[in-house]
């Protein structure tokens, strides 16, 4: 998961305009995307997922 998070973060940085030269936290969307994919690969479902 660590490499996936690093790669997704790098993609975010390279595709973003006007970022200042400072440390940024990983956006929640990237964290959630990595966790959801890991859970999907492991065959783990979150109860209530997809329900509105």
In a domain, 18, yes or no: yes
Q: Which domain holds residue 12?
A: 2-42
What is the per-residue pLDDT for 2? Answer: 85
In a domain, 49, yes or no: no
- Report DSSP state, residue 37: H
What is the per-residue pLDDT for 9? Answer: 92
In a domain, 51, yes or no: no
Region for 23 from its dihedrals, namely left if φ exceeds 0, alpha if ψ lies in -120 to 50, beta otherwise = beta
Reported pTM:
0.68
In a domain, 28, yes or no: yes
What is the tens place of the pLDDT at every residue in 1-52? Answer: 789 999 999 999 999 999 999 998 989 999 999 999 999 999 998 887 665 4
Tell me how many degrees the CA angle 35-17-8 measures, rounded to the nearest 5.
20
In a domain, 37, yes or no: yes
In a domain, 20, yes or no: yes
What is the per-residue pLDDT for 6? Answer: 93
């Amino acid at each position: 998961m660590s490499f996936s998070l690093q790669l997704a973060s790098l993609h975010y940085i390279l595709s973003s305009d006007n970022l200042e030269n400072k440390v940024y936290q990983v956006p929640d969307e990237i964290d959630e995307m990595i966790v959801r994919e890991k859970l999907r690969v492991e065959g783990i479902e979150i109860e209530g997922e997809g329900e509105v």
